[in-house]
Amino acid sequence: MKMYGDAQPVYALNDISLTIHQGEFLSIVGPSGSGKSTLMNVLGLLDRPTGGALKYLGEETSQWSEGRRSEFRNREMGFIFQAHMLLPEFTALENVMIPLRIGNTLSSQGMAKAQRLLERIGLAERLHHRPGQLSGGQNQRVAIARALVNNPKIVFADEPTGALDSQTSNAVYELMREIHQEERVTFVIVTHEQALSEKTDRVIRLLDGKIKEDVTIPHPPANDTPPQR
């Protein structure tokens, strides 16, 4: 449960109960004001719930200190935001390395990992470009690499394609799906885009701070067999 205000409290989230399993690729959808961003912030340990329990691997997090919450986020979680939240004075490579600096784990191996991630997502020629020198789609790819540099177990993506054109949006989705399938990283995608949510494996629909629907979407299995000639 998450509420705001004292005299007449407003419940941004109420009576929420869900379990997210390792390796899921799911979306949280709902209209503006439904509580989806608040839910992501609570799940991502950015906000504390005013009631109830939030457990990771069976461990209750409500009593964790801010230091422990911050350390856990940096070590176990990655975040992708709609506005990418890159530092404009840093290059793409430097932006990707920020979680390593925060966690005091920056090393030659970490720098190499950051570079490999950027190369993997097609930015090998843009390592030393700043955000202002990159397109919106390229900046979002940098944000994805930054979210993955610490090998997180779960990635939270808040409207990751909301500011992109349809072609770039699809490319960003394909990149997230590829990473999920190859590395079994859990993805929780907050979006208002129905087309994006329908591509995920599970959809949690929110309305007025409550879960109205939690459904699994069947997708045809990938066919890796080459066509017969």
What is the CATH classification number for the domain harbouring 124?
A: 3.40.50.300
Is 117 a domain residue?
yes
In single-letter form, the type of residue at position 56 comes to Y
Is 222 a domain residue?
no
Q: Which of 15-19, 87-91, 167-171, 173-177 has the lowest mean pLDDT?
A: 167-171
Reported confidence tier of residue 221, pLDDT bands at 50, 70, 90 = low
Q: Which of 36-40, 89-93, 116-120, 168-172 has the lowest mean pLDDT?
A: 168-172
Q: Which of 46-50, 69-73, 84-88, 102-106 has the lowest mean pLDDT?
A: 102-106
User: What's residue 211's pLDDT?
Assistant: 94
Q: Across the strands, what pairs with 59?
A: 56
Is 78 a domain residue?
yes
Q: Across the strands, what pairs with 191?
A: 29
Is 132 a domain residue?
yes
- pLDDT tens digits, residue range 161-212? 887 888 888 888 998 999 999 889 999 999 988 889 999 999 999 999 999 9
Residue 8 clears pLDDT 60, i.e. is over it: yes
Is 25 a domain residue?
yes
Percent of the chain scored above 90 by pLDDT? 53
- Per the structure, the count of domains in the chain is 1
Is 225 a domain residue?
no
User: What's residue 170's pLDDT?
Assistant: 87
Tokens of 173: 């989705």
User: What's residue 227's pLDDT?
Assistant: 42
Is 5 a domain residue?
no
Long-range contacts of 129-136 (CB under 8 A, 24+ apart): 129/91, 129/92, 130/88, 130/89, 130/90, 130/91, 130/92, 131/84, 131/86, 131/87, 131/88, 131/90, 131/92, 131/95, 132/88, 134/92, 135/168, 136/84, 136/163, 136/164, 136/168
- Of 128, 126, 179, 158, which is closest to residue 27 (Cα–Cα)? 158
**Mean pLDDT throughout 112-125?**
91
- Of 202, 201, 205, which is closest to residue 220 (Cα–Cα)? 201
C-alpha 228: how far from its chain's center? 39
Q: Which of 1-15, 45-59, 121-135 has the lowest mean pLDDT?
A: 1-15
Is 19 a domain residue?
yes
Residue 1 clears pLDDT 60, i.e. is over it: no
Domain assignment of residue 25, given as a range: 10-53+63-216
Residue 42 clears pLDDT 90, i.e. is over it: yes
- pLDDT tens digits, residue range 58-83? 889 988 999 999 999 988 999 998 78
Please provide residue 155's backbone torsions phi and psi, each rounded to the nearest 5 degrees.
Answer: -120, 130
**Mean pLDDT throughout 114-140?**
93
